[in-house]
Amino acid sequence: MLDVIHDLYQHQEWADAQHWRAIRAFPPALVDEALRQRLFHIHAVQQVWMGRWQGLDMGFPKVEDYPRTEDLFHFARACHAALSAFLSLRSEGDLSEPVTYRNIQGEPFTQPLGDLLLHLPYHSQYHRGQTAQAMVALGFHMPATDLVVWQRAGRPKAIWPE
């Protein structure tokens, strides 16, 4: 199961990097507030879940902490670096370990780490779809970032824009 999780996180980073390449190459996207809010949500949730897995209650970040799209881009890269470091230390046995956390409403839950690790890439994928739809509405043709596209391409590493 851990191999599947690693694959999903490598795909997630690759797909996020593809989206960021497109966004940074299209000036109207850089000033679209709804798009910025959605991107913030994707990466803030990545940070929040990782904190939960580590037993930290970091609270939900504030979009105001990332006033420019460029600030948000650096936050995204930092989230992926932290996720990669976290996953590199996990073993198959860790997946059954219970994680107790509170959701945004303060309700307590306990679930196995493996279940929670599976949740995050799917959450990101859902919101990347919204991001792609917003970019198309702005007049930009988004690259395909489906899991199968990444697999067919040989599971390439993420290439973040400079």
- Look at residue 82 and tell me if it is in a domain: yes
Instruction: Tell me if 108 is assigned to some domain.
Output: yes
Q: Are 138 and 28 in contact (CB under 8 A)?
A: yes
Query: What per-residue confidence (pLDDT) applies to 60?
Result: 86
162, part of any domain: no
Which pLDDT score, from 0 to 100, does residue 162 have?
A: 84
Residue at 159 is within a domain: no
In the prediction, which pLDDT does 57 show?
79
83-141 pLDDT, tens digit per residue, is 999 999 999 999 999 999 998 888 999 999 999 999 999 999 999 999 999 999 999 99
Q: Domain for residue 148, yes or no?
A: yes
Q: Containing domain of residue 73, as a range?
A: 2-89+97-152
Please state, in angstroms and rounded to a whole number, the distance separating the CA atoms of residues 103 and 138: 33
Decide if 14 is inside a domain: yes
Average pLDDT, the chain: 95
Task: Indicate the number of domains in the chain.
Answer: 1
**58 has a pLDDT exceeding 80:** no
80 belongs to a structural domain: yes
How far from chain centre, in Å, is Cα 116? 13
Q: What is the CATH number of the domain that holds 132?
A: 1.20.120.450
pLDDT of residue 36 exceeding 90, the answer is yes
Task: State the pTM of this model.
Answer: 0.94
Domain assignment of residue 158, yes or no:
no
Q: How distant, in Å, are the alpha carbons of 5, 6, 8, 34, 105 from that of 72?
A: 25, 24, 22, 13, 25
